Amino acid sequence: MGKIALLSQRLANQIAAGEVVERPASVVKELLENSLDACATRIEVDVESGGSRLMRVRDDGCGMDREDLALSLSRHATSKIVDLADLEAIGSLGFRGEALASVSSVSRLTITSKSAESEAEEAWKVEAEGQDMQPLLMPAAHQAGTTVEVRDLFFNTPARKKFLRTEKTEFTRIEETLKRLALSRFDVAFVLKHNQRVIHNLLKAATEQERQRRVALICGPAFIDNAVAIDVEGPGLRLWGWVSLPTFSRSQADLQYFYVNGRVVRDKLIAHAVKQAYRDVLFHGRHPAFVLYLELDPARVDVNVHPTKHEVRFRDSRMVHDFLFSSLHRALAEVSPGETLASHATTPTGGDRDSYSPGPDLDWGSQSSLALSDRPAPGSPVGYSASRGDVQPSRVRDQLDAYRQLNEDEEVPPLGYAIAQLHGVYILAQNRDGLIIVDMHAAHERITYERMKTACTSEELKVQPLLVPLSLAVSQGEADAAEEQQDALLNVGLGIERVADESIVVRQIPSILRHANVEQLVRDVLSDVMEYGSSERIQAHQDELLATMACHNSVRANRQLTVPEMNALLRDMEATERSGQCNHGRPTWVFLDMNQLDKLFLRGQ
Ligand code: ADP
Ligand code: MG
């Protein structure tokens, strides 16, 4: 007897459900996409108990008649494509015809619908429950449109139910799903309720102002205040939306929304192009925030690459990449000098503003100052010394003094003594054996981090009340997180109090961070806290929180240090554990001994 047997329909659906229905949020995603495909103009989502008890999506779309309703639950049943040509130029969000079949195989599902076209007054209802794929049809009452109710998700697959996280976490994911879709369709109104409480009520947005309002409601008011609007057209392509100024960078990639022809997409090619565009204006380890829409001929992009349809494949990926990169790069470069200056002044890496002069020569963060034409011609000493004009004579003398130090007959510490600072980024130092190059920003960050860790474990973290408590407008989610995790935040020295639905007050910070940009610091910490979720996980991730905070205390790149300051940093590094790598694992210093240097110059060969 053969060993191969066809899977039963039921089992096949449950297996497929594994791909499509990962958690409550994935159900909501499929249902919302169906409503949008049905041309709904208003969609209401009701969630109970994080979605595991109930998810109900009600729309005013085209609805289904009796016949379609009966078919809608079958696998590979779709009204959206008929042949291969359709698939090659897909305009709808769904097309695989498997979502409803999959969802019904792992839940108790009811669909009530009335076709907007049908003359008849009646509406119909279909019920299916897990195993029973024989859907039950009956007359019902409903207005034109569709209501889909999904109850008891995974009731028949306990192994998968176990993987569900807390009600709160699952709901947050549902909320994120709705936000993503709501940003893709300004012409549709969305309502989201959790346990009967209205969480989002997004009106239709027709004007630019209304659209910005929706973006602010979803991404937080601070995003839109710190973003530039862009709208660029290329050959057969258009890119529009909002991108954050480099000042508004985040510690996580959690405020990034990208749409290709209205479809939510998380794609490597796109991510790469965006990252490149921000590369020379963003400090390392930071993530930009953006809401961007790419529009192009549907025939030029393949969306049928992945079951959850998050990835796409462009027919001409090189061209799309370059278009994205150059549009964004230009948009960021065109931000007026005042804005860039302001953004540098409040840059998240903190540092002492007074001790550096933000002259144009120091502005390495922007492309323009690195443009080839600005570089001195090779071998042109005049051009070179002109560009060094910002080095004060006293500093040069300091450096000469330091240089002399090594000639004395004294113990030289491992990292040696500073000789100079290179382009505001590196410290050059010499010890008995050669040259040491230190990334001062990375090194300082590491030192701060290690100090905070030690202080935290020995409960000696010194804190400092803010003379003027800082009020911040935040999203509801951020305020919730701040309130729930007040104690955990206090453990790392942050005194934060929620004062309203969407506003918090910062009263106290660790003394070591007194020069940091408190707003940016708190926003980053809250974004971490939201990511970690529960209190236990925050405990477990306390070090990461400290690392995020340490990042705000570091010597900014470009800050001119005096030789004694540089030497102090070198000594701190020697005294600090793990100071050989920055918090992100990159080296903080490298060493070239005299032999290696000699080799570079082919000496003695
Ligand atoms: P797909 O969306 O890939 O076609 P689904 O399983 O999600 O597959 O849905 C199957 C079919 O049911 C859809 O093609 C559509 O005709 C119909 N349908 C589902 N949801 C709705 C809705 N909210 N309004 C109208 N028709 C719907
Ligand atoms: Mg669908």
Complete DSSP assignment for 319-380: HHHHHHHHHHHHHHHTS-HHHHHHHHHT-TT---GGGS---GGG-TTSGGGG-GGGSPPTT-
| Residue at 240 is within a domain | yes
Tokens of 408: 């004395």
Q: Is 96 in the pocket of ligand 1 (CB under 6 A)?
A: yes
Q: Which ligand is nearest to the CA of 56?
A: 1
DSSP, res 4:
-
Bridge partners (DSSP) of residue 313 are: 302
| Ligand (nearest to CA of 117) | 1
Regarding the beta carbon of 60 and ligand 1, being less than 6 Å apart is answered no
Q: How far, in Å, is the centroid of ligand 2 from the Cα of 95?
A: 7
Specify whether 37 is located in the same domain as 165.
yes
Expressed as residue numbers, the domain containing 85 is: 9-202
The answer to whether residues 212 and 295 touch, using CB atoms and an 8 Å cutoff, is no
Say whether pLDDT at 397 is over 90: no
Which run of H or of E encompasses 243?
A: strand 237-244
Task: Identify residue 283 by its one-letter amino acid code.
Answer: F
Q: Is 327 within the bounds of a domain?
A: yes
> Does residue 104's CB lie within 6 angstroms of at least one atom of ligand 1?
no
**193 vs 205: CA distance, rounded Å:** 20
> Can you give the pLDDT at residue 581?
65
Q: What is the CATH number of the domain that holds 91?
A: 3.30.565.10
For residue 124, report the distance from its CA to the centre of ligand 2, in Å.
19
Quote the pLDDT of residue 357. 25
CATH number at residue 273: 3.30.230.10
The token pair that represents 590 in the structure block = 């490298």
**Ligand 1 pocket check for 129: Cβ under 6 Å:** no
pLDDT of 400 above 70: no
Answer whether residue 388 is part of any domain: no
pLDDT score recorded for residue 338: 34
Give the residue whose CA is nearest to atom 16 of ligand 1.
79
Q: Share the mean pLDDT of the chain.
A: 79
Residue 550 predicted with pLDDT over 90: no
Distances (CA, A) of 568 to 55, 406, 411, 435: 60, 16, 16, 17
pLDDT score, position 61: 95
Segment 41-65 mean pLDDT: 96
Among 139, 138, 133, which Cα is nearest to 72's?
133
DSSP letters, 553-571, are GSPPTT----HHHHHHHHH
For residue 251, the CA-to-ligand 1 centroid distance in Å is 38
Q: Which atom of ligand 1 lies at the shortest distance from residue 100's CA? A: 6
| Higher-pLDDT residue of 337, 96 | 96
Give 408-464 pLDDT, tens digit per residue.
Answer: 667 788 888 898 889 888 999 998 888 999 988 888 888 888 888 888 877 788 888
Q: Is 591 inside a domain boundary? A: no
Does 249 score more than 60 pLDDT? yes
Q: Check residue 601 and give its pLDDT.
A: 84
Query: Dmax over Cα atoms in the chain, in whole Å?
Result: 102
Percent of the chain residues topping a pLDDT of 90: 32
Burial of 346 per CB tally in 10 Å (0-12, 13-18, 19+): middle
Q: What is the pLDDT of residue 462?
A: 87
- For residue 94 and ligand 1, the question of a CB distance below 6 A is answered with yes
Task: Looking at the structure, tell me whether residues 233 and 166 fall in a common domain.
Answer: no
- pLDDT top residue among 103 and 365: 103
Each residue's pLDDT tens digit, 127-168: 988 766 677 899 999 999 999 999 999 998 888 888 888 999
Query: DSSP 3-state assignment of 126?
Result: strand
Residue 588 binned pLDDT confidence (cut-offs 50, 70, 90): confident
Whether residue 233 sits in one domain with residue 170: no
pLDDT top residue among 545 and 348: 545
Is the pLDDT at 376 greater than 50? The verdict is no
DSSP reduced 3-state for 73: coil
Q: Shortest CA distance to 319 belongs to which of 340, 301, 335?
A: 301
64 lines ligand 1 (CB under 6 A): yes
| 119 and 226 part of one domain | no
Q: Phi/psi of residue 19, each to 5°?
A: -80, -45
What are residue 311's phi and psi, to 5 degrees? -110, 155
Structural domain ending residue among the three candidates 177, 202, 227: 202
- Of 158, 173, 202, the last residue of a domain is 202
Q: Is residue 288 domain-shared with residue 223, that is, in the same domain?
A: yes
In which region does residue 285 sit, left (phi positive, over 0), alpha (psi from -120 to 50) or beta (all else)? left
Same domain, yes or no, for 175 and 218? no
Please tell me which of 258-267, 372-381, 409-418 the model is most confident about, judged by mean pLDDT: 258-267
- Do 190 and 305 lie in a common domain? no
Q: With CA atoms as reference, report the closest residue to 443 among 461, 418, 477.
A: 418
CATH number of 549's domain: 3.30.1370.100
- Helices marked H in 9-98: 9-20, 24-37, 66-72, 84-88
Q: Is the CB of 30 under 6 A from ligand 1?
A: yes
Q: How far apart are alpha carbons 148 and 112 in whole angstroms? A: 6
Query: Does the residue 472 lie in any domain?
Result: yes
For residue 147, how far is its CA from the centre of ligand 2 (angstroms)?
A: 14
**Same domain? 184 vs 214:** no
Atom number in ligand 1 closest to CA 62: 25
Return the higher-pLDDT residue of 198 and 398.
Answer: 198
Is 267 inside any structural domain?
yes
Rounded-to-integer distance, Cα 443 and Cα 37, Å: 53
Whether the Cβ atoms of residue 78 and residue 95 lie closer than 8 Å to each other? yes
Q: How far is the CA of 403 from the centre of ligand 2 (A)?
A: 71
Record the tokens describing residue 39, joined without a space.
Answer: 């041309």
Contact (Cβ atoms closer than 8 angstroms) between residue 416 and residue 406: yes
> Do 198 and 223 have their domain in common?
no
Q: Is the CB of 97 under 6 A from ligand 1?
A: yes
User: Would 170 be classed as within a structural domain?
Assistant: yes
Ligand 1, residue 92: give the atom nearest the CA: 2
pLDDT at position 359: 28
Same domain, yes or no: 138 and 157:
yes
The closest residue, in CA terms, to atom 27 on ligand 1 is 34
Average pLDDT over residues 483-501: 91
| CB 147 less than 6 A from any atom of ligand 1 | no
Answer whether 203's CB lies under 8 Å from 41's CB: no
Q: Is residue 340 part of a domain?
A: no
Whole-model pTM: value is 0.59
Helix segments in 59-144, DSSP class H: 66-72, 84-88, 99-105
Q: Is the CB of 218 under 6 A from ligand 1?
A: no
Distance in angstroms (rounded) separating the CA atoms of residues 579 and 268: 33
How many independent structural domains does the chain possess?
Answer: 3
With a 6 A CB cut-off, is 93 part of the ligand 1 pocket?
A: no
Q: In whole angstroms, what is the distance from residue 397 CA to residue 248 CA?
A: 39
- Cα of 285 vs centre of ligand 1, distance in Å, is 42
Which residue's C-alpha comes closest to atom 23 of ligand 1?
Answer: 35
At position 229, the amino acid (one-letter code) is A
Give the domain-ending residue among 202, 221, 240: 202
Task: State which of 55, 72, 118 you would mutate to test the pocket of ligand 1, scoring each by most atoms of that ligand within 8 A of its C-beta.
Answer: 72
How far is ligand 1, taken at its centre, from the CA of residue 125, in Å? 14
pLDDT tens by residue, 164-211: 889 999 999 999 999 999 999 999 999 999 999 999 999 999 999 999
**Mean pLDDT within 526-533:** 83
Which ligand is nearest to the Cα of residue 72, counting in written order? 1
Residues 6+ apart with CB under 8 A from 66: 124, 137
pLDDT by residue (tens digit) across 452-491? 888 887 778 888 888 889 999 998 889 999 999 998 899 8
Of the bound ligands, which one is closest to the alpha carbon of residue 100? Answer: 1
How does residue 347 score in pLDDT terms, banded at 50, 70 and 90? very low
Same domain, 165 and 220: no
Range list of H helices, 418-495: 440-457, 476-484, 486-491
Is there a single domain that holds both residue 38 and residue 125? yes
pLDDT at 555 over 70: no
Whether residue 259 contacts residue 93, with contact meaning beta carbons closer than 8 Å, is answered with: no
Q: How far lies 418's CA from each of 163, 345, 390, 429, in Å? A: 55, 27, 19, 4
User: How far, in Å, from the CA of 400 to the mean position of ligand 2?
Assistant: 72
Contact between residue 138 and residue 125 where contact means Cβ atoms under 8 Å apart: yes
Q: Whose CA is nearest to atom 14 of ligand 1?
A: 78
- Is any ligand 1 atom within 6 A of the Cβ of residue 35? yes
- Which has more confidence, 248 or 194? 194
Q: Which of 342, 369, 355, 365 is nearest to 247 (CA)?
A: 342
Quick check: CB of 34 below 6 Å from ligand 1?
Answer: yes
